[in-house]
Amino acid sequence: MAKAKEGDRVKVYFTGTLGDGTIFGQTHEDEPFEFTIGEKSVLPKFEGAVIGMKEGENKAILIAPEDAYGPRDEKRVFTGEKSEIPDHITPEIGKKIQVQMGSGEMAILTVLEVSEDKVTFDANDPLAGEELTFEIKLLEILQTEPNE
């Protein structure tokens, strides 16, 4: 039976959990996750775990924060004036707001605090600083190199 390798398009089921067991992402039975190994569209350690798997095989992996979304950076938490927020956006604790940074890159900010005239934002990825566990099942290898 063929094993998944770089260049293969694969379908997987996965469940991603945090250290406390909270599920942060998962596929559903009728909607497997599909990606091409080597295109860097998933975390490198996730992709590496799928390499060498056979169809129907299950695997559990643990990914450290530095190999996932990096450590939390308190420098990415900042407070701004509420008056600088566009009128069509109502800042509420926990709300995610997409903004264009000064560098031109798009970022998603999470609202941490709201006072009468100030808003505190967190520009860290929500999974920054988290150790991630993935339960992966390789469902199907859709394409392989010839002669394999």
Please, how many CA atoms are within 13 Å of residue 2, restricted to the half-sphere of its CB? 17
What's the rounded Cα separation, in Å, for the pair 70 and 19? 15
Give the pLDDT of residue 99: 84
Per-residue pLDDT at 135: 98
**CATH classification of 74-122, choosing from 3.30.450.20, 3.10.50.40, 2.40.50.140, 2.40.10.330?**
2.40.10.330
Sketch the domain layout of the chain as residue ranges.
9-69+128-143, 74-122
Check residue 147 and give its pLDDT: 47
pLDDT for 146:
56
Q: Which CATH class is domain 9-69+128-143?
A: alpha beta
Enter the tokens of residue 130.
Answer: 């988290």
Spatial separation of the C-alpha atoms in residues 1 and 138, rounded to whole Å: 13
> Is residue 26 within 8 Å of 132, Cβ to Cβ?
no
Q: Could you say which residues of the chain have pLDDT below 70?
A: 144-148
DSSP H or E segment with residue 77: strand 77-81
